[in-house]
Amino acid sequence: MTDRLTIAQPDDWHLHVRTGSILKTVLAHTARQFGRAIIMPNLKPPVTTVEHAMAYRAEIIAALPQESIFQPLMTLYLTGNTSVEEVKKAAESEHIYAFKLYPAGATTNSDAGVANIAAAYPIFAAMEKHNIPLLIHGEATNAEYDIFDREKIFIDNQLSQITQQFPALRIVVEHLTTEEAVQFVESSSENIGATITPQHLLYNRNAILAGGIRPHFYCLPILKREHHRLALLNAATSGNPKFFLGTDSAPHLTSLKENACGCAGCYSAHAALELYAEAFEQADALDKLEGFASFYGADFYQLPRNTRTISLEKQSWTVPMDYGDNDNLITPLRAGEKLHWKVLAT
């Protein structure tokens, strides 16, 4: 049995850190584990220009612990008003790494997202030309679609068409949740990659609904049936470089989660690598964690792999019930429960 694991420092290829006081509460959790992270742009207002992204990046850097080496990798929010000129500016910036596509109404702060995806094809063409990746929240948003089927419908109706129309466009299918999505990524070209979250590796939809409604397991795309979880776990632990780490850690105030209309998102940054280690250990695949966490995402984004290392030790510890202060309390995933891996101080 492995009691200690040392790997190249990982990166988080899908992260929400918000802004203001919440940013200051959560950022250190990510910075202690990860060398870099792709920062999501769905603020209010959304980050739609290079100038806004640079200001947001400066805020993130100012909130980092002293002597932190963490690098925020910025993205722009794709809207119906995104221009070809903005794509060119993003490609010329040393700090913009992708555009994020939210179908309008798909998730938190997605109201400004793209309502007519076909109308965005000229923007996709510009991204393909300038070699800048497209990150996709892959869910159909029509009200008549069952929430558990929305990922598959989006793949069938939209994503398959995008990949055919733009074969050289690098696309990350964010936070996979279904067996069908795994199969789509596996059968697509090398330009198609995918991130997988810790909650989708560890839990199925019973975590939200069995024994009462548990809002801190509610995220979008929503947790699915057990056979989908197993398909995700098999993909993550397969050694296939198309699949890599992206927590989708999403800090929401406890008061907004424990609410008559609770918001979607799981906060996992406090124990991200420990949660992934738990999932990989359950699959008897700890030897595959380094590739998934530290190598494949960097390779997909055409960035150098990290040269520093990080170690985890088999050590039980209890997750705090919350983080932040009285005005900004955030309930983390597995609050009050024991975890059995711990990242060692670097």
Place domain 4-343 in its CATH homologous superfamily. Metal-dependent hydrolases (3.20.20.140)
Q: Is 340 annotated as a binding residue?
A: no
Residue 156 is among the residues annotated as catalytic for this protein: no
Looking at residue 47, its amino acid is V
Cα distance between residue 134 and residue 150, in whole Å: 19
Entry field: residues in the chain: 346
The pLDDT of residue 345: 79
- Which whole-number Å values give the CA distances from 243 to 54, 136, 214, 302, 341, in the listed order? 29, 14, 28, 15, 22
- List CB contacts of 340: < 8 A, sequence separation 6 or more: 278, 314, 315, 316
Instruction: Compute the average pLDDT of residues 297-315.
Output: 97
- Please write the tens of the pLDDT for every residue from 241-278: 999 999 999 999 999 999 999 999 999 999 999 999 99
Is residue 264 part of an annotated ligand binding site? yes
Percent of the chain with pLDDT over 90: 91
Amino acid at 285: A
- This prediction has a pTM of 0.96
> What confidence tier does 190 reach under pLDDT thresholds 50, 70, 90?
very high
Select which of 149, 156, 248, 325 is catalytic: 248
17 is an annotated ligand-binding site residue: yes
Question: Which of 277, 251, 253 is CA-nearest to residue 266?
Answer: 251
- Residue 228 among known ligand-binding residues: no
Q: Is the pLDDT assigned to residue 107 strictly greater than 70?
A: no
Average pLDDT over residues 168-196: 98
- What is the model's pLDDT at position 104? 76
Q: Is 252 annotated as contributing to ligand binding?
A: yes
pLDDT score of 8 = 98
Q: What is the mean pLDDT of the chain?
A: 95
pLDDT surpassing 70 at residue 1: no
Confidence class for position 111, pLDDT limits 50, 70, 90: low
pLDDT of residue 328: 87
3-state secondary structure of 42: coil
Amino acid at 12: D
- CA torsion sign for 242, 236, 183, 96 is negative
Q: What is the mean pLDDT of residues 63-76?
A: 96
Q: Is 248 annotated as a binding residue?
A: yes
pLDDT beyond 90 at 332: yes
Judge whether residue 109 has pLDDT over 60.
no
Q: What is the CB-side half-sphere exposure of residue 180 using CA atoms within 13 A?
A: 15
Q: Alpha-carbon dihedral of residues 202, 274, 264, 127, nearest 10 degrees?
A: -100
pLDDT of residue 106: 58
Q: What average pLDDT does this structure show over 86-92? A: 98
Place of tokens 């929010």: 77
